[in-house]
Structure 1
Amino acid sequence: MAKLTQIRNIGIIAHIDAGKTTVTERMLYVSGMKHRVGRVDSGTTDTDDDAEEQERGITIYSACVKLKWGDYDINLLDTPGHVDFTAEVERCLRVLDGAVVVFSAREGVEAQSETVWRQANKYGVPRIVFINKLDREGADFYAVLDDIGPRLDATPVAIQIPVGIGPAHTSNPFRGTIDLIERKFLQFDPQSEGKQVQIQDVPEEMVDDVEVYREQLLETLYGFSNDLMERAMNEQEITPDMIRAAIRESCIRGEIQPVMCGSALHGIGVQPVLDAVGHFLPSPLDRPPVTGIDPKKPDVIISRKPDLSEPMCGLVFKILPAKTGDNYWIRLYSGSLKQNSRGYVPNRDKKENVAQLWQLHASKKERDGQIESVGAGDIVCVIGPRFAITGDTICDTREIIELPSITFADTVISMAIEPENTAEKKKLSETLEMFKRQDPTFDAKENEETGQTLISGMGELHLEVIQHRLTRDFGLKVKFYKPRVNYRETIGGKAEVVGVCNRQLGATQMFARVKISIEPLEDPSATAIVLDNCPPDGGLPDQFRPIVIDELKNRLEGGGHIAGFPLSGLRVRVLGAEAAEEGSDDVAFRIAASDAFEQGLKQAGPVLLEPLMRLEITTPDDYMGDIVGDLQQRRAIIAKTESRGMMTTIIAHAPLKELFGYSSAIRSLSQGRAGASMEPHGYHAAPAEDAANFSF
């Protein structure tokens, strides 16, 4: 078991194409974990080991690698940058202690950069920043550094600056970095692919710049470190070790983000990032104890420290189905987990076998990596469990705790599929169930009437990857239909109604009345809620209160009036009721509550909601007019435009329905020179003609 102070659980997160996987490859290479550098373009990287990833040159699935750097044992998770696979980032950040955020020096802070930064904020994950691709045409380290603060509400602090910038053929190419803490020039030997680092004095022409940026670093630290402030006021020496200690404390508290620079493709600047992971990012001991509840006493908060003497608890954050037994990726928070032991999953009320423990390498179990036990703070692959799903807790059978689960975004796009023959039907059903276990943002539901299955995901690319896996990896003969948007329904106004049950059932006269109000919430995409506002003297007997609430909740889950789409953005209140001495029972009150709900929906006016996407488009000025014109035709609202050097960035909000095939369209409009990314931006009312296409 690794020492807790030496463990670092970190993730590499960024916008697509910022260079996350290349950074990971270089880290594996310089740490001695592999002898040759894999390349994304050649499909030879360790972490992008899926055929789809290698073909597309992008990361789709998060991968975990272990490496040793000096005294540190690092569990490193490489995550996707495409918004369709944002669940992979979400699940990783939930279990990580720190993160390295990668930005491209040319594109800077992009849409998905903001998304992953927000996700890191949500889980309170300390992070360091690596500005990559400084050898590219149009790279600008200082512009990106200046952009991070206002765009991400962050406090970036440069601890390195580049020497030169741009490609080798320019007059002042990027050729190394200057460490502002030690005041040293670091050059990375190209013959060893950057493995050998030469430490030299700062070039004379950069001495003044180094002092300016070092002073900025210290000025920022004075605001967070009383010790440094006192030493500065007393004109005492401030050593590099003191600076590193102050950076570490402030970084772990989330007050600052140390910024570094380099070019991972050419092996420049990667070793200092690994040094920074050890120096500045937290060990499990630096993070607060995890808290959870006892499922039998939900009001009791329980905490677990990262200590071997504490009862065992961990969180399942990823499941990879396999023929030899599903691989469960678990972050252990306390105690120790041993091979051939038993654990308890409170979420499912099931005991689970822990048959085997394996170290992870990418998405596979590491060869010769089977281990006897694993301690608090580590990440491990477990074989044996059968019932747990992503986000479930596994804990000691005698000391039960349920940790907060992982929440994922709702799907926004669906596609109908059906097997070509009955022989394929069972195989398809089993495969889709496996996908659902693996990917929490994928869903599949079969329509018994049509024989079709509706698969849902986070975007066109997500469904395309699923489609390829079904046909290529599993050899299924399946018909695919055009993707469709996942609409929702809400109401346009308020209504107050009385639902009645007044029926003769045999010799019994059934009777009940239920009075409710129904009104829209401010956010149309918010979860619909039912409230019991009926006073004690409101005529609703206590034994029927849960019946009425349950029926109204069932009706909410049953969908709306327009086409049975899920209901959201509305509040239902129970205001009163009336019961008779005879004939008022559970069934009568269910019928009355259902009748009230039906009337309320009609009177309040059903509204169809469509998913809205936030688009961020970066384009040369020459194509701006054509792109804006195309956006207007797609019912987009342009929220903001801003110039970044020779490029213009457009932020727009557009309905998902109008954005099918948009990545191809924008390439065509700009001769391949513009790029776009999108992420969900809530729901808004769909045009009346769209609602008219569905039958009431």
Structure 2
Amino acid sequence: MHSSAPHLLNLGVLAHIDAGKTSLTERLLHTAGVIDEIGRVDDGNTRTDSLALERQRGITIKSAVVSFVIPATDVTGPSGGTGSPRLTTAPDVTVNLIDTPGHPDFIAEVERVLSVLDGAVLVVSAVEGVQAQTRVLFRTLRRLRIPTLIFVNKTDRRGARYEGVLDHIAARLTPDIVPIGTVDGIGTRAARCTAANGDIDFVARLTEVLAGHDDALLAAYVEGAAPLPYGRLRTELARQTRDTLVHPVFFGSAATGSGVPELVDGIRDLLPATVGDAKGPVSGSVFKVERGAAGEKIAYVRMFSGTVGTRDSVLYGDGGGGRGGDGADADKAAGKVTAVRVFDRGEDVRAAEVRAGQIGRLWGLGDVRVGDVIGVPRTGVDPGGRFFAPPTLETVVTPLRPADRGALHLALTQLAEQDPLIDLRQDDIRGEVSVSLYGEVQKEVIQATLAADFGLDVSFRETTTICVERVVGTGAAFEIIDKEPNPFLATVGLRVEPAPVGAGVTFRLGVELGSMPYAFFRAVEETVRETLLQGIHGWRVPDCAVTMTHAGYWPRQSHAHGTFDKSMSSTAGDFRNLTPLVLMDALRAAGTTVHEPMHRFLLDVPADTVGAVLPALARLRAVPHTPSTDGASYRLEGDVPAQHVHALEQLLPGLTRGESELETAFDHYEPVRGGTVPARRRTDHDPLHRKDYLLRVVRRTHGGGREGRDGREGSDWSDGREGP
């Protein structure tokens, strides 16, 4: 007998583009009885590629969720030769399958999904083997300790390999793999996958891999004269798979369905069902936000604990601040859930609630953003944690019709809700908007989306590289209230020092916290962080320590008739306006250097083409490290500036007869060497140029600011607050 209560498993399907990930999703749904006919990516009729643009281009752009049930099954297996066959019962498993993009330009969509997975299937092509994106994805899955099965697809295609692909996986991904079965007729349409069911060769290979991670098993293996019982090995395989120590490898074809039933068994038997207390504190994660037909926001939420129902009021936020309010929940927004839908057997259905372990769609959270935590964060999990490198490219988006500027900004803001990493930069001075990118395909998709969904025709300027600035030394500056050249009723002193790479920006107080109202300290800190988005050369300053060394203000004062007089009382705006001037003076004193993003490349080329490839690498400022040879293949590993990666991809086919294999991924930043230091146009009021900055502040505050005692206009323009 088995329990009728289904187990839950949130499963990601990941792959390099064109490995057959979406086709496998279709086959899994068909095998589970969710769909009657299998859609084809080329025909644009797959279940998970629902966007018109996805159907047109034949690629996955957005993650999609679909649910199916793997029914309970009695599982039999040989006992190891010493008794009757083993009989166990595997319960129903309800799988929320999340199909993710394979193209590297949409890695941000994959990043958001990873945080909600219980397990993953990594798809590898039996023809191409391990590819660039495969390695990036697998390294991340291992780092996050997400249990992963590997499915080698396309065994029916000409050029498909068995041992060759296993060797490739062992060399490029991990040696801790266990092939679950063999393939007859590989490379032909008649290819058939046979599951391993305790045969001698399989048991020997399985024992060897598992014993490498379990001392007790190793001792039994070394000391025992007979093979270990298959039941014990199967149990240990499940444990080590769930502990991410080993990775079972399944072979098959999404096109013919061969090997897919064996993969389904592996998903049920080897990957861990989700755990979570439906009666515990509410804790969930928003991994996707989309807009409904009426423009309302819909949040995709994975619940880890607790239950959220219709009409429930919930707190949500990303832990990063900036949503207003005071106290412990200053970074949280409150909302009332107006509707809930959950995924069930291929559909999303209206439900009264979404419980721990489930994925649901919530309506009513008007200010929700991707990455938000619903309720309380999970213990030991950074809600803002990043798994992949940030975008290293950017471009300016301009409407073909100048009258569409406002509509373009609104449309891009909505797209940024769905993909925060496009990182809008609004240049109010020039009336321009720039977006961050992973690649040229992403630019094309943004352009097509703006045309199809918003009716906006746009063009893009040339794509440029996003650099960063790093602080070189220590610098300090201060300005005193009511002393020239300070035009604001505030005293601010700041010291800037370098911090280790990855440390981020830290703000410290070198003055007594009680020396002035807390709201003024907060105004300084917020402005420091905002100002450091554009350093001396216009690039973000990611790692430094800023200490406030001077602070002073004029208390709230009133005239005899009791009216508040801004001209002789400090406001938060004074501190917000003065801080950029002081901080830039301190940065200038410390000095900054511009660093450009570097990609690590791995390049395999025919040995006889090396003479043509090496000069091309030199022209692109690529620096190869120690090369190695493998038969007629020559392998180069090294670093290349991000701005030249696309050019390298374009050059290689002609230099290598189309026989090269190139993998690249962001690795680190390096100082720009030689030539002109790249600068980025500023989008703020440019505190590097004091006179122009003050004129812009005066212009912005005209009519809403104050006249100082000497006729100077003031500065309470940033948020309308007037101090405590």
Superposition TM-score tier, normalisation by shorter sequence: 0.7 to 0.9
- Displacement of 1:105 after TM fit? 3.0
> Matches of residues 24-173 of structure 1 in structure 2 within 5 Å?
24-70=25-71, 71-149=92-170, 151-152=172-173, 155-167=176-188
- Give the aligned partner of residue 206 of structure 1: none
Determine if contact 1:540/1:579 at 8 Å carries over to the other structure.
no
- Structure 2: distance between partners of 1:694 and 1:269: 53
Q: Which stretch of structure 1 is more off in the superposition, 132-141 or 380-389?
A: 132-141
Query: What is the CA-CA distance between 1:425 and the residue it aligns to?
Result: 2.9
| Partner secondary structure for residue 187 of structure 2 | coil
Report the Cα distance in structure 1 between the residues aligned to 2:186 and 2:124, rounded to whole angstroms. 15
SS of the residue aligned with 1:332? strand
What amino acid does structure 1 have at the position aligned with 2:673?
Answer: P
Mapping for residues 256-655 of structure 1, pairs under 5 Å: 256-285=246-275, 306-324=276-294, 325-345=296-316, 347=318, 349-360=332-343, 369-395=349-375, 404-408=382-386, 409-421=389-401, 423-491=403-471, 493-495=472-474, 497=476, 499=478, 501=480, 503-504=482-483, 514=493, 516=495, 518-519=497-498, 521-523=499-501, 527-532=504-509, 534=510, 543=515, 551=524, 554-555=527-528, 557-559=530-532, 562-573=536-547, 597-621=583-607, 623-639=609-625, 641=627, 648-655=634-641
In 2, are the aligned partners of 1:418 and 1:479 still within 8 Å (CA)? Answer: yes
Quote the offset at 1:146 in angstroms. 3.8
The answer to whether the aligner puts 1:216 opposite 2:199 as a matched pair is no
Measure the CA separation in 2 of the matches of 1:307 and 1:581.
53
1:177 aligned onto 2:193: yes
Q: What is the one-letter code of the residue matched to 1:180?
A: A
Structure 2 residue matching 1:307: 3-state secondary structure: coil
Identity %: 27
Q: 154-163 vs 221-230, which deviates more? A: 221-230
How far does the alpha carbon of each residue in 1:291-340 deviate from its partner, in whole angstroms, 9 at most, with x for none? xxxxxxxxxxxxxxx13333443221111212243332111222333345
Determine the C-alpha separation between the residues in 1 that align with 2:655 and 2:436.
Answer: 29
Mean CA deviation greater in 236-245 or 39-48 = 236-245
Structure 1 pair 452–274 and aligned structure 2 pair: CA distance change class (3 A): same
C-alpha separation in 1, matches of 2:282 and 2:492: 52
The answer to which of 23-32 and 338-347 deviates more is 338-347
Higher strand share: 1
Q: Any idea what SS the aligned residue of 2:314 has?
A: strand
Shift of 1:522: 4.8
Give the equivalent residue in structure 2 for 1:301.
none
Code of the residue aligned with 1:52 in structure 2: it is: L
Q: Distance in 1 between matches of 2:554 and 2:453?
A: 65
Counterpart residue identity of residue 20, structure 2: G
Distance 1:550 1:371, change over 3 A: closer
Q: CA deviation at 1:147?
A: 4.4
The whole-number CA distance in structure 2 between the counterparts of 1:509 and 1:318 is: 44
Contact 1:613 1:653 in 2 (8 A): yes
Q: 1:681 to 1:368 in 2, by over 3 A?
A: closer
Per-residue deviation at 1:279?
0.3
Q: Distance in 2 between matches of 1:581 and 1:435?
A: 44
Report the secondary structure of 1:32's partner residue.
coil
Other structure's SS at 1:388 match: coil
State how far apart, in whole Å, the 2-side matches of 1:27 and 1:508 are: 68
Per mean C-alpha deviation after superposition, the further-off stretch among 328-337 and 72-81 is 328-337
Work out whether residues 512 and 584 of structure 1, in 8 Å CA contact, stay in contact via their aligned partners in 2.
Answer: no
| Mapped contact 2:394–2:463 kept (Cα < 8 A) | yes
Q: Secondary structure at the match of 1:67?
A: strand
- Matches of 1:372 and 1:549 in 2, distance apart? 42
Asked if residue 10 in structure 1 is aligned to residue 11 in structure 2, the reply is yes
* Paired letter, 2:537: A
Contact 1:117 1:152 in 2 (8 A): yes
The separation in 2 between residues aligned to 1:384 and 1:117, in whole angstroms, is: 36
Amino acid corresponding to residue 488 of structure 1 in structure 2: V
Q: 1:149 Cα shift? A: 4.7
Partner of 2:699: none
Contact 2:496 2:544 (C-alpha < 8 Å) held by counterparts: no
Write out per-residue CA displacement over residues 628-677 of structure 1, whole angstroms, 9 at most, x where no aligned residue.
Answer: 33222111122465556765554342222223455444445455554544
CA shift, 1:423, in A, is 4.2
Q: Distance in 2 between matches of 1:508 and 1:471?
A: 47
Determine the C-alpha separation between the residues in 2 that align with 1:230 and 1:518. 55
Please say if residues 13 and 79 of structure 1, whose CA atoms lie closer than 8 Å, have aligned partners that are also in contact.
yes
**CA apart distance, 1:620:** 4.6
**Which whole-Å CA distance do the structure 2 matches of 1:607 and 1:268 have between them?**
56
- After TM superposition, the structure 1 stretch with the greater mean CA deviation from structure 2, 40-49 or 493-502, is 493-502
Shift of 1:564: 2.2
Tell me which amino acid in the other structure corresponds to 1:218. T
TM-score by length of 1: 0.78
CA distance in 2, matches of 1:180, 1:633: 52
Shift in CA distance, 5/412, structure 1 to aligned 2, threshold 3 Å: same
- Retained in 1: the 8 A contact 2:66–2:346? no
- Structure 1 CA distance for aligned equivalents of residues 101 and 179 of structure 2: 26
Q: What is the match of residue 671 of structure 2?
A: 685
Query: How much does 1:506 deviate?
Result: 12
Q: Give the Cα–Cα distance (whole angstroms) in 1 for the partners of residues 380 and 272 of structure 2.
A: 24
Q: Partner letter of residue 563 of structure 1?
A: H
List runs of 5+ in structure 1 lacking aligned partners: 169-173, 184-210, 286-305
Distance 1:621 1:683 in 2: 31
Matches of 2:398 and 2:490 in 1, distance apart?
Answer: 46
Q: Which residue of 2 aligns with 1:243?
A: 233
Q: How far has the Cα of 1:498 moved from its partner?
A: 5.5
Go from structure 1 to structure 2 and tell me whether the alpha carbon gap of 1:479 and 1:407 turns closer, same or farther (over 3 Å shift). Answer: same
SS of the residue corresponding to residue 315 of structure 2 reads: strand
Count of residue correspondences: 629
Equivalent residues of 1:313, 1:401 under 8 A apart: no
Residue by residue, what CA displacement relative to the aligned partner does 1:491-519 show, whole Å, maximum 9, x if unpaired?
Answer: 3x323546453853799999979573623
